[in-house]
Amino acid sequence: MADVPERTQRRADFLAQTARIPFSELQRYFAAGRLILASDDLDLIEVAVQLSEDNAAQFEQWLNSGLVKGVADEQAAAWLTQDDALWAVVADPWVLVQERKEAAIPEEHSGA
């Protein structure tokens, strides 16, 4: 695990890069198999941090519980048809998305 200042900076960097993006702009990542759906029950920024820290144990737990998964073709088609905007953040080479409908992602983002 990263030290606290480094982890805090990584979290701030991901937070600054998080935005609502129409699925139409994310299609190429879906086509490349690089789009990961995180449950609304998870903190999207924390998922990005854990991925960047290569925390395989945490990801396995999330995968096994269905909290993190690849995007199914049917889901992608629905997002495209409905022209949905998703919360997204890049954790290279992955793009993490969430369907949250509210206007802001985490509370700390609202002050930025």
- Please give the pLDDT value at position 2: 60
- Please give the pLDDT value at position 67: 97
- Please give the pLDDT value at position 85: 93
108 pLDDT above the threshold of 60: no
Q: Are 97 and 86 in contact (CB under 8 A)?
A: yes
Which has more pLDDT, 111 or 42? 42
| Domain residue spans of the chain | 4-100
User: Does the bond joining 106 to the residue before it have cis omega, within 30 degrees of 0?
Assistant: no
- Please give the pLDDT value at position 18: 95
Region 18-46: what's the mean pLDDT?
A: 95
